[in-house]
A and B are shown apart, each in its own frame.
Chain A
Amino acid sequence: MKYPDDLRYTKDHEWARNENGIVTVGITDFAQDQLGDIVYIELPNVGDPVQKGHAFGVVESVKAVSDLYSPISGEVVKINQTLKDSPEMLNQDPYDAGWMIHVKMNENETLNDLMDASMYQKFCEES
């Protein structure tokens, strides 16, 4: 199970990476492993607002559905179109090719209250 150091993590198993106010969001290796083979993903449209802690999409395996919760408030500026046709990317490469959305974060937002890699790893191992 991978927990890259340069990412921040939520309790709902999303990861976030901030690059100059644009946050990339995806689900973690732990999450994809728990869900099993992912068969479908529903993402917001570019321009949609997202709110921290609120659902922005849905990810489905054959026998489970999970809401995706945004780690940050802001506006969706880009979505990963290839996931629609190749949801298996989420299983194969959750931290890179499996990224989901880019969010332009609102002013005064930070990722500081999210978990770092070691905290998240501990969180997963205990759950």
Chain B
Amino acid sequence: MRYIPHTPNDIEQRLKEIGVSSIQDLFTSIPKAFHVDRPLNLPSGLGEMDLKNHITSISKENKAQSYTHFLGAGAYHHFIPSIVDTLSSQGDFLTAYTPYQPEISQGTLQSIFEFQTMIANLTGMEVSNACMYDGATALAESCLMAKRICPQKSKILMPKNIHPDYQKVCQTYMATQDIELESIDFNTHTGQLDLEALSSKLNNETLAVLVQTPNFFGCIEDLKSIQTLCEKHQTLFIVCVTEPLSLALLEPPGKFNADIVVGEAQSFGNAVSYGGPFVGFFTTKMKYVRAIPGRVVGETVDQNGKRAFTLTLSTREQHIRREKATSNICTNQALLATRVSIYLSTLGEMGLKALSRLNHTQAVQLTKKLSKHTKLKFTSPFFNEFVIETKGSVQNMLEKLKAQNILGGYPLEKDFPELKNSLLICVTEMNTNEDIEKLCKIIEEN
């Protein structure tokens, strides 16, 4: 076996050194009754060439890879500059453990510190942690954190236009907590959170209000009005962002005095990879920093006064605080956070802004082209996703697009029975003008 160096001679010699006669003698503490007593129904090993062929042939069964995507809905297909792969796949980033020993982990620590800085700047927040599993668990963790800040309140308002998977994850996590999630409708005209519904449900007993912007339908939410209502009732204001590229164009949630801003940073240099690994981000105000979940890197000095970075505020975490920890998270998504740092350094201030604008304007162009034949479902401004209502059946149309190697978007009826024949379309820099023309043509014909 190429990964295991021991030759029969090595084994024999080492057993002698240890003073036992066989490998089995090292396993004597395991009662016989627990041993594997039948041949395992598993294949034998493969040489690298056969292995590569085997796995590659499975990958080719994923026919979707050669399709053009207009699918977003929380997983965004963006261009990844070559250096992101090159730099992040360096063995010293890839095969290091969690940076528990700062003297030999400055690379990971500094890149996470840079990640924290970039995420805090983008969201307009004071402090960011080192990352979470994904946007959905980050949102669930934000609800748990709200409860730590305000233990006497229990109700959290969750709009129905938050990503359906995120809603489901929150429901799972809150099921064993003293937290009640209550839905709020969206405005069927604008696609935004229904402010009247919010205002009628919000009172001084409300722990927090969650808002996703752009929301699942791509609509930009009116954070200012929502924040005003939250402030009136001393309710925590939690904002979730699933397409962080929007932050380069839109006023950041921090400007609207959000208490916690979480989201998904996959868009920044990470592949869609069938939904994972992704990388959640988590930011808040400095006054709540001790309630934050997960790891945090801080700047300090070494004993010679040289700048150094280290994990800090560890007493919140499971390895020290155990059952009283702010979260059970240990392993996170650090490599993806490093990729985010590299990606954002590469695009930089101007590149990210230009890319963000391009995503938006491409989407606008598409809606203009479609406007003769198709109606936009919602009226509010959008970033790079929007909903159209088709005249005929969405499924028929998607099938026709599929026949042309196009994945036309996300049909909403599955999660929103009231939104019949509604399609969520996403446009990114990856969609060429030809793709867009093709899509328009088929939609028009339908």
Contacts and interface: CB of A to CB of B under 8 A. Distances in A.
A and B touch in the complex (CB under 8 A): yes
Interface residues of B, number: 5
B368 interface: no
B321 interface: yes
Contacts of A63: 314-315, 320
A119 interface: no
Interface in A46-65: 60-65
Interface in B302-319: 314-315
Nearest to A65: B315
A40 interface: yes
A40 B320 CA distance: 15
Nearest to A62: B314
Contacts of B314: 62-63
Nearest to B319: A63
A110 to B, nearest CB: 32
A23 B320 CA distance: 32
Nearest to B310: A62
Nearest to A61: B315
In terms of DSSP, what is the predominant structure of the interface of chain A?
strand
Contacts of A40: 290, 315
A65 B314 CA distance: 10
Nearest to B312: A62
Contacts, number: 14
Contacts of A64: 315, 320
Q: Do most interface residues of chain B lie in helix, strand or loop, or is the interface mixed?
A: helix
A42 to B, nearest CB: 8
A71 B344 CA distance: 54
Interface string A69-104: 000000000000000000000000000000000000
Contacts of A62: 314-315
Contacts of B315: 40, 60-65
B446 to A, nearest CB: 62
A113 to B, nearest CB: 29
A61 B314 CA distance: 10
Interface in A7-30: none
A65 B323 CA distance: 13
A105 B173 CA distance: 42
A3 B290 CA distance: 33
A61 B320 CA distance: 11
Give the residue among B290, B315, B320, B321 with the most A Cβ atoms within 10 A.
Answer: B315
Contacts of B321: 65
B395 to A, nearest CB: 56
A44 to B, nearest CB: 15
B109 to A, nearest CB: 15
Contacts of B320: 63-65
A60 B314 CA distance: 10
Nearest to B322: A65
A34 to B, nearest CB: 15
Nearest to A67: B324
Interface in B265-318: 290, 314-315
Contacts of B290: 40
Contacts of A61: 315
A90 to B, nearest CB: 15
B443 to A, nearest CB: 59
A40 B315 CA distance: 10
A65 B321 CA distance: 7
B27 to A, nearest CB: 36
Interface in B131-171: none
Interface string B187-200: 00000000000000
A63 B320 CA distance: 7
Interface string B250-271: 0000000000000000000000
B248 to A, nearest CB: 36
B406 to A, nearest CB: 55
Contacts of A60: 315
A88 to B, nearest CB: 15
A3 to B, nearest CB: 28
Interface of B: 290, 314-315, 320-321
14 contacts: A40-B290, A40-B315, A60-B315, A61-B315, A62-B314, A62-B315, A63-B314, A63-B315, A63-B320, A64-B315, A64-B320, A65-B315, A65-B320, A65-B321
Q: Which 9 A-B pairs have CB atoms at the shortest separation, nearest pair first? A: A60-B315, A65-B315, A65-B321, A65-B320, A63-B320, A63-B314, A64-B320, A62-B314, A64-B315
Given A61-B315, A65-B315, A65-B321, 11 more contacts: A40-B290, A40-B315, A60-B315, A62-B314, A62-B315, A63-B314, A63-B315, A63-B320, A64-B315, A64-B320, A65-B320
